[in-house]
């Protein structure tokens, strides 16, 4: 801990909030949320506060929404903002699941059936 520049309550609260939303220390630093803190300081404070990124499994609906939005030319950032994920999380998941090339293999959620049918119908033309 840097005793010359202790963390303020506002900084601690901001860090905890960002980490709970899935932000990693490097993303926090690069986005400029804590401009007076080094990447290592952000990592160290995360350990001290025991703030970690929650393990969030992707729901079937998240996968299908991502695929639909991708097919509608939304950016990975816009997709992430919609489903509560980071741009990097969207890119990684879509790549691992092959969603840049084909729809999810899981059953289509009833609430998205019409949109999926329209997209799949458009692909066949």
| Domains: count for the chain | 2
Q: Count Cα atoms within 13 angstroms, Cβ side, for 45.
A: 27
pTM for this model (two decimals): 0.56
Measured between its terminal Cα atoms, the distance across the chain in Å is 62
Helix H, strand E, coil C: the string for 67-85 is: HHHHHCCCCHHHHHHHHCC
Are 66 and 114 in a shared domain? yes
| Within a domain: 55 | no
Q: Strands, DSSP E only, in 17-69?
A: none
Helices 113-123 and 60-71, packing angle to 10 deg:
40
- Verify that 88 and 45 share a domain, yes or no: no
Q: Which domain holds residue 25?
A: 9-49
Task: Identify the pLDDT of residue 74.
Answer: 97
- Specify the pLDDT at position 24: 87
In a domain, 4, yes or no: no
71 and 98 fall within a common domain: yes
- 73 and 98 share one domain: yes
Tens digits of pLDDT across the chain (125 residues): 556 789 999 999 999 989 888 888 999 999 999 999 999 999 999 888 887 665 667 889 999 999 999 999 999 999 999 998 899 999 999 999 999 999 999 999 999 999 999 988 876 54
Whether 40 and 17 map to the same domain: the answer is yes
Same domain for 64 and 117, yes or no, is yes
């Amino acid at each position: 801990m840097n005793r010359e520049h202790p963390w303020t309550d506002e900084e601690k609260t901001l860090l905890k909030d960002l980490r709970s939303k899935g932000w990693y220390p490097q993303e926090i630093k690069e986005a400029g949320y804590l401009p007076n803190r080094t990447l290592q300081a952000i990592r160290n404070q995360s350990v001290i506060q025991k703030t970690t990124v929650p393990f969030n499994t992707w729901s079937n609906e998240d996968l299908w929404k991502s695929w639909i939005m991708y097919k509608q030319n939304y950016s990975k950032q816009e997709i992430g903002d919609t489903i509560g994920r980071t741009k990097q999380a969207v890119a990684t998941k879509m790549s691992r699941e092959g969603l840049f090339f084909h729809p999810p293999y899981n059953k289509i959620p009833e609430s998205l059936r019409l949109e999926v049918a329209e997209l799949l119908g458009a692909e066949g033309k």
